Structure 1
Amino acid sequence: MDQRQLSMSDIAIGEPLPWDVYGEGSKLLLRRGHVIQNSHQIEVLLQRGLFIDATAADRATQARMEAAREARKETPSALRFINLATKRLERLLYNLANESDVQPKILEVVKALRFASEVNPDVALATILLNQDAASYAVRHCIDTALLASLIARAMNKSAEEIQIIMAASLTMNIGMLRQHDQLEIKQEPLSEKESALIKGHALGSVHTLRDAGVTHADWLTYVQLHHENDDGSGYPYGKGVAEIPQNAKIVAFADRYCASIANRSYRKTLLPNVALRDVLLAGGKPSDPMLAAYFIKEIGTYPPGAMVRLQNGEIGVVTRRAKVAATPVVHSFIGPRGVPLSFPIQRDTSKDLFAIRELLSSQHASLRFSMQQLWGDEAAL
């Protein structure tokens, strides 16, 4: 038997030994599977100069490495699925006139996004703030809206079919002004009358485009048509009132406005998430739809995943996970109290006074450089 002496790295407290342990003269002392209970036992073993079968140890090490590799293979990345869905949607929307079977193809994108949200809903939410370079604004905004709308619809216990159609409407709501949307993003001056008219007519234009492409689902088309209507009749294209707007169309509308408010826009001020939530849901100081507003506030929270925050101790970090109490999410700090970058992100419990959130920061003010994988691991790998 090819033996080698035990080292500290060979033993893990509380885990079964992966090999037999021998004394001098190859005498068997501990069988494979024996559990070392504390550090004192490890010290005693090492002092006795015990040995293990080197071949068996190598096999055990190889098995652990293989298991780790397999675990990594089995961990799907929500971010990767979202990016693949975004690229697929981009090709579909910009080439719609030459596409066949548009309706099932859009629903395939919906399926991929739903899977990503199930893998890690916090990662899916964080992409709204942290993944803005994944595609053109026109396409990425539709993806963001679909992800947020699906989260709200799922929290409201909507049926699987309802969630599917809400997401499909979100993905296609702006198809009537897709290319113009991209052009508007690079404008530095206010919108012209012609551009404002285009925006006010795009909901109906999107419905006509979808019908021409073969989309026949009545609710899908209705949600697209009504996603800019307001309960008080101030919306467009029809100025409908509260009783005429389906709840699912409102989910699309609120998600659309919130995502547009927090995105970097050239002709519109970017709002912090808490301000955007207030402006979208509490226009005029009271919610237009109290029940829907309550779901948005509960699911998004004042500090959504991906938001940059400053803590009471001066650290700056990123919200990584929502908590039962909306005001106390999990944060990973990147910059220390004196403004010096930390060696690695440190998880902070914001329910503790020292690490309570002091304020939200814009991405420009936070000046953080990181990858989503640093914060969420393989579920946010590219």
Structure 2
Amino acid sequence: MSTRRIGMSDIVIGQPLPWDVYGSDGKLLLRKGFTVTHAGQVAALIERGLFADIDRSDNNLRDGKPVEKATEAPSVVRMINNARTELRRILYNLSTETNAQADLLTLARRVGSAAFMAPDVALGNILLNQEDTYGTRHSVDTAIVSLLIARALKKPPEELAMLAAAALTMNLGMLRQQERLQEKSEALTAAEQELIFQHPETGVRMLRAAGIDREEWLSWVLHHHESEDGSGYPGKKSSADIPQNAKIISLADRYCARVSIRSYRKSMLPNAALRDILVEGKSKIDPMLVTVFIRELGTYPIGTFVKLDNGETAVVTGKGAMTTTPFVHSLLGPRGVALTVPLKRDTSKIAIREVLHRDQVQVKFTMRHLWGEIARL
């Protein structure tokens, strides 16, 4: 096999690939003839490092027939799971990383590729894929929401990458203690409260020691717990003194923390989390960002379980014409019997009656059932 590295300009959206495509590890990613349908797929593929088999011929035969090779299209869920694992590896070994800044920016771009390739799947992952360790899972989830808000504000690509890197590293200063703190049902001790108040500054010191020298990135980590009214920490900054990207991370952080499962309590219902944020928004959050946030996530964020007016139980899987009328896939019929396949419904025609907790929905399914191969594990 003769190969050459291929780039963005080699893949034409909407046209079949003229060659087999392999990853940098030699694994077949896409078979000749596969059609890439949008730019997000291209960006995600290029990020993995691609090589084309430029001299594939019919000489590759077995019993007179071409040998078939398995094709594996990208999976956003797998990309996000891999990002969680890689982030944990980098952060827990940060003091020995030889190129931490480049590695974290590369990882941030991979998270962006996943988020932009299929935003519905990436957002659904936050509510429907909470099996991993909280600390790094929460940071990746926050990065996804931050990226989608920032893209809506038309931030340039390099700024998006640094924003994602800041979200991925926002809790570095308390990473090793975070899991224990998040699962506590009793009041925090004075020492634990101090750890939390100081973790932005601690994180910045650790990042600098690891060779991170991008001042915007460091500033966003430092300020991601500041509030519009000056009640945040560590600097009691307010309004215009807080960088906008730190505000974006803060907003995403607040939402993702509220909808995350805890050992001692149920996660907050996604629409209730949004209402809670709106209440805070009157004093603590930039109202313009809240507006963008609601527009991007909707009143019923993707992954929310709902009961419809026709009695079916469904999960939100896509944005609708309005923020209050998403598309859903019904999982249970009106009598509570699991449907053979999930049925897509438009809630502008069949309204949402109520929002449900996951433990109220007695049916097994995977994200792949809802979104297909792009959401397989």
Structure 2 counterpart of 1:12: none
Cα drift, residue 96 of structure 1? 1.2
1:185–1:267 Cα contact (<8 Å) kept: no
In 1, the alpha carbon distance for the partners of 2:339 and 2:265 equals 34
Pair 1:276–1:257, CA change in 2 (3 A)? same
Residue number among 280, 283, 290 corresponding to 1:283 in the alignment: 280
Q: Deviations over 1:343-372 (max 9, x none)?
A: 2211111111xx211111111222332110
Structure 1 counterpart of 2:251: 254
Cα drift, residue 216 of structure 1? 0.6
Structure 1 counterpart of 2:222: 225
Q: Looking at CA atoms only, which structure, 1 or 2, has the larger radius of gyration?
A: 1
Cα drift, residue 298 of structure 1? 0.2
Residue number among 363, 377, 380 corresponding to 2:375 in the alignment: 380
Structure 2 counterpart of 1:114: 112
Cα drift, residue 268 of structure 1? 6.3
In 1, the alpha carbon distance for the partners of 2:283 and 2:351 equals 28
Residue number among 223, 229, 236 corresponding to 2:233 in the alignment: 236
Pair 1:286–1:212, CA change in 2 (3 A)? closer
Structure 2 counterpart of 1:34: none
Give the gaps of 5 or more residues in structure 1: 1-61
2:201–2:222 Cα contact (<8 Å) kept: yes
Cα drift, residue 160 of structure 1? 0.9
Structure 1 counterpart of 2:181: 184
In 2, the alpha carbon distance for the partners of 1:360 and 1:247 equals 32
In 2, the alpha carbon distance for the partners of 1:150 and 1:293 equals 14
In 2, the alpha carbon distance for the partners of 1:142 and 1:368 equals 29
Residue number among 328, 348, 361 corresponding to 1:366 in the alignment: 361
Q: Which has the higher helix share?
A: 1
1:281–1:293 Cα contact (<8 Å) kept: yes
Structure 1 counterpart of 2:77: 79
In 2, the alpha carbon distance for the partners of 1:191 and 1:321 equals 38
Give runs of aligned pairs for residues 191-230 of structure 1, distance below 5 A.
191-230=188-227
Paired residue secondary structure (1:333): strand
Q: Deviations over 1:126-184 (max 9, x none)?
A: 11101111x31000000000000000000110111111111110000000100100122
Give the gaps of 5 or more residues in structure 2: 1-64
Q: Deviations over 1:321-362 (max 9, x none)?
A: 11231111111111111111112211111111xx21111111
Structure 1 counterpart of 2:171: 174
1:316–1:335 Cα contact (<8 Å) kept: yes
For the pair 1:302 / 2:291, whether they are aligned, the reply is no
TM-score (ref. length: structure 2): 0.79
In 1, the alpha carbon distance for the partners of 2:118 and 2:347 equals 21
Paired residue secondary structure (2:328): strand
In 1, the alpha carbon distance for the partners of 2:250 and 2:116 equals 23
In 2, the alpha carbon distance for the partners of 1:146 and 1:381 equals 21
In 1, the alpha carbon distance for the partners of 2:193 and 2:181 equals 10
Structure 2 counterpart of 1:90: 88
In 2, the alpha carbon distance for the partners of 1:191 and 1:265 equals 16
In 2, the alpha carbon distance for the partners of 1:265 and 1:313 equals 32
1:76–1:119 Cα contact (<8 Å) kept: no
In 2, the alpha carbon distance for the partners of 1:263 and 1:89 equals 19
Cα drift, residue 285 of structure 1? 5.0
Paired residue secondary structure (2:110): helix
Residue number among 316, 319, 330 corresponding to 2:313 in the alignment: 316
In 2, the alpha carbon distance for the partners of 1:305 and 1:273 equals 9
1:227–1:250 Cα contact (<8 Å) kept: yes
Report how many residues are paired.
313
Post-superposition, which runs of at least 4 consecutive aligned residues in structure 1 deviate over 6 A? none
1:315–1:339 Cα contact (<8 Å) kept: yes
Paired residue secondary structure (2:321): coil
For the pair 1:143 / 2:143, whether they are aligned, the reply is no
1:77–1:119 Cα contact (<8 Å) kept: no
